[in-house]
Amino acid sequence: MEKRLKNKIFQSRDLCLRALDTNSSCARNVRRNGESMLYLVTGGSGSGKSEYGENLAVGLAGKKSLVYVATMFPYDEESYARIARHREQRAGKGFFTVECFTGAGKLSGQPGEVFLLDCMSNLLANEMYLEGGSIRRRDGEAVRECRQAIIEPLLELGRKKELVIVSNEVFSDGVSYGEETACYLALLGEIHRQLAGEAAEVTEVVCGIPVPVKPVPNRI
């Protein structure tokens, strides 16, 4: 009786392993066939998330065209210096740069096959505070505006083309903020949840080390 039970357990395990291997092969085939996928990369300031996102996009592209979606609005010397640093970092990697401070929906008409958006936290701030932004409410309606302005257009783009999105991890400092900042953080968290829910991969970069969050490694 015990021997038969063990045999059944091992047979079930082998079936599961074969199924997982088949699913992994299917996922690799999807990438080889050029199916559009969404990748979310998060990390703290100076974590190396931008460099990881760039290398990921280059690896996905192969010989396909690369589009860098720049979201940082230059407003002071520090922002100009940061923009220059990022341009130098991605020089020679084959990116065509498109500025998108607000209005992510217009990216759907942008030529290109692999998109890298860096970074989401800037795009959200622009939509909330720039004159041309679409997120004006600071109550429950702000989530609806955020979905229309950012989440839905990017999810749609990610279904059509390869899309790597880099964003900031700003939720671990344990500090209590005022109402305005709390609204911004709540919307950024909503964006992360919605994008991560549909993403093929979610990676958090910590001290330059990519830590996979999704897909979760299978354990038997």
**Residues 211, 46: Cα–Cα separation, whole Å:** 15
Q: What residue spans define the domains of the chain?
A: 1-33, 35-214
- Please state the pTM of the whole predicted model: 0.80
Contact 107, 71 (CB under 8 A): no
Quick: pLDDT tens for 117-175. Answer: 999 999 999 999 999 999 999 998 999 999 999 999 999 999 999 999 999 998 887 77
Q: Please say if the pLDDT value at position 47 is more than 50.
A: yes
* End-to-end C-alpha distance for the chain, whole angstroms: 23
Predicted pLDDT of residue 217: 57
**E strands, the chain, in order:** 38-43, 66-70, 95-99, 114-118, 162-168, 201-206, 209-214
- Express each pLDDT in 186-220 by its tens digit: 999 999 999 999 999 999 999 999 999 998 655 44
CATH architecture of 35-214: 3-Layer(aba) Sandwich (3.40)
Task: Please say if the pLDDT value at position 7 is more than 50.
Answer: no
Q: Quick one: tokens of 153?
A: 């257009």
Band (91; pLDDT cuts 50, 70, 90): confident
DSSP classification of residue 29? H
- Model confidence pLDDT, tens digit, residues 53-77: 999 999 999 999 999 999 999 888 8
Report angle CA 5, 9, 13 to the nearest 5 degrees: 170
∠ Cα 157 54 67 (to 5°): 45
CB atoms within 10 A of CB 22: 10
